[in-house]
Structure 1
């Protein structure tokens, strides 16, 4: 089998690229031929250095690095991205059996959807976020700091000042969404798209908003690249840890304030717009981005728990899964897909993204015996059914086999989507 994986970058600039790259590696290790096509130039992750992986860069530029006017135009419809992707697919020495899209908003744009249609290949899309149905991608209102409750592109949606930056940015994102929807809608000679959901919660939210015709829905866990080892001793740690981008929708501010209220230090690994605000909270340590191996070592040495108190309906934060795999208790928002992996009170805690609730959970972490028990149970529970890279690749192979079989069936009907 030959799989074409499409994403914005060949290095992890977010969870979508991280999963795309790890998927490529896992599939290659299973003997699947992989071509990873990335839009923007830049360094490649070492995981892509495998004889079973061909890497094709389209030489595009991240729209975030463009002047605002040009970034807006290319974000809505990047003709050059479509032309280069079309040429890249035509130039491949071996035609892929399936194409798997992970992200398209920062270098590829909705212009690639007609190209995918013309390829005639089965297409899968992993929904790491809500860009397929929501203009701002998070299905979240930044003006009210709450998840959205209106139907995308309805009157209330268009009127809402929900963008994290401005109404002008909202207008650009709406234009991109309209272009995206039109690109898929007018492509009548198109194979059904297989949508991959990374948590039960995100599937339950997204599936009812997607018309049934033209979409098949699947549930596959994101991979966790943690080697099995003895469980950590979280009771020896000194802080609650947050790993990732420091933003309000991810609840970084709640971690710092909740830890301070509970009288326990907090450790932040990463960066983001709230970095200076976090540093101003007593007991908070911000250390910036670190390589994955260093992050794992830091968490094993210092974390009493890893926390992801998302205000948005996060599909599946990987840091929670990685903590459980290492035997570190996890605390997740009841809005996050990762909460599905936590046994509340047994492997960690599931809380509302609320300061009082988090402070109460953090206060419980002062009990060494409890923290040690939570960690041991988390480790045992995770490894009883691990979401390893090999397990992820196996699930993808079964998905692709079903997609190719459906495409080859005599009764197969091409249909419009959306």
Structure 2
């Protein structure tokens, strides 16, 4: 089998690229031929250094680095991205059996959907966020700091001041979303687009938004690259830890205030717009971004629990899975997909993204016996069915086998040439 994986970057600038790169490596290790096509050139992640992975850069520019007007145009429809992608696919010595898209908003643009459709190949799209349906990508209202309840591209959506940056940015995103929907509707009429969800929660939310029969909904866990080791001893830690971008939608401010009320220090590994405000909270420590190995060592040494109390409907934050794998209790938002992996009061807690609710849970984490029991159970339960790279690649191979079998059916062949 030969799979072409498409994404914006060959380095993990976000969760989508991280999973795309890890998927490529896991598939290659299973003997699958992989071509990774990335929009922006540059240094590649070392994981892509494998004889089974062929890498193709399209030489595009990240729209965030363009002048505003140029970035807006290319973000809506990048004709050059479509042209270069079509040429790259045509130039491959051996054509792929299927195409798997992970991210497209930063360089590829919705224009690539027309190329994918014209290929006639089975196409999978992993939904790391809500961009396939929601203009701002997170189905979250930044004006009210609450999840959105509007139908994407409805009259209410068109007039909502929900964008994190400005009304002008909202306008561009609305146009991009409408153009994207039209491209998918035109290109995939009569044959399905396989959508891969990373949590049951995001599947339950996105499937009704997307609505019609153009899509087949699949479910595959993201990989967690944590080597099995002895469980941590979270009872020896002193702080509630948060790992990631320090923003309100991710709930970083909730962790700092709830930990202060509970009488525990808080540790923030990451950076973002709330960094200075967090440093001003008594007991809070911000250490910035750290390499993955250093993050794991720091959590094993300092964390009584890892908290991810997102206000937005996060699809599946990896930090929760990584904590459980290390034997550290996790506290997740009841709005996040990662909460599905937590057994309440057995391996951690699932709570509303609310200071009072979090403070109550954090207060319970002052009990050493409870924290130690939660950590041991988290480690045992996680490793009974680990979300390893090998397991992820196996699930993808099963998915691909079903897609290629369906593609060989007469109904698919007829629709592919309509």
Short-chain TM bin = over 0.9
Partner of 1:132: 132
The RMSD of aligned alpha carbons is: 1.2
Any stretches of 5+ residues in structure 1 without a counterpart? none
Partner of 1:2: 2
Higher-RCO chain (CA-CA 8 Å, sequence separation at least 6): 1
In the alignment, the residues of structure 2 paired with residue 340 and residue 23 of structure 1 have an alpha-carbon distance, to the nearest angstrom, of 22
Which range moved further: 27-36 or 209-218? 209-218
5 Å matches for 1:99-138? 99-138=99-138
Partner of 1:53: 53
Partner of 1:29: 29
In the alignment, the residues of structure 2 paired with residue 411 and residue 101 of structure 1 have an alpha-carbon distance, to the nearest angstrom, of 23
* Structure 1 residue 367 displacement after superposition: 0.7
* Structure 1 residue 190 displacement after superposition: 6.5
Structure 2 length normalisation: TM-score? 0.98
5 Å matches for 1:110-189? 110-187=110-187
- What's the secondary structure of 1:245's corresponding residue? coil
Asked whether the 8 Å contact 2:188–2:214 carries over to 1, the reply is no
Asked whether the 8 Å contact 2:97–2:121 carries over to 1, the reply is yes
Q: Describe the superposition over 1:18-56 as per-residue Cα deviations: whole angstroms up to 9, x where unpaired.
A: 111111111111111111111112221111111111111
Partner of 2:354: 354
In the alignment, the residues of structure 2 paired with residue 13 and residue 38 of structure 1 have an alpha-carbon distance, to the nearest angstrom, of 12
- What's the secondary structure of 2:412's corresponding residue? coil
* Structure 1 residue 211 displacement after superposition: 2.8
Asked whether the 8 Å contact 2:189–2:214 carries over to 1, the reply is no
Partner of 1:344: 344
Partner of 1:314: 314
* Structure 1 residue 414 displacement after superposition: 5.6
Q: Describe the superposition over 1:3-32 as per-residue Cα deviations: whole angstroms up to 9, x where unpaired.
A: 110011111111111111111111111111
CA spacing shift, 1:230–1:61, aligned 2, 3 Å: same
CA spacing shift, 1:314–1:188, aligned 2, 3 Å: closer
Structure 1 length normalisation: TM-score? 0.98
Partner of 1:214: 214
CA spacing shift, 1:59–1:293, aligned 2, 3 Å: same
In the alignment, the residues of structure 1 paired with residue 211 and residue 362 of structure 2 have an alpha-carbon distance, to the nearest angstrom, of 42
* Structure 1 residue 412 displacement after superposition: 2.5
Partner of 2:410: 410
Partner of 2:298: 298
* Structure 1 residue 188 displacement after superposition: 5.3
Q: Describe the superposition over 1:241-266 as per-residue Cα deviations: whole angstroms up to 9, x where unpaired.
A: 11111111110111111111111111
Q: Give runs of ≥4 in structure 1 deviating > 4 Å.
A: 413-416
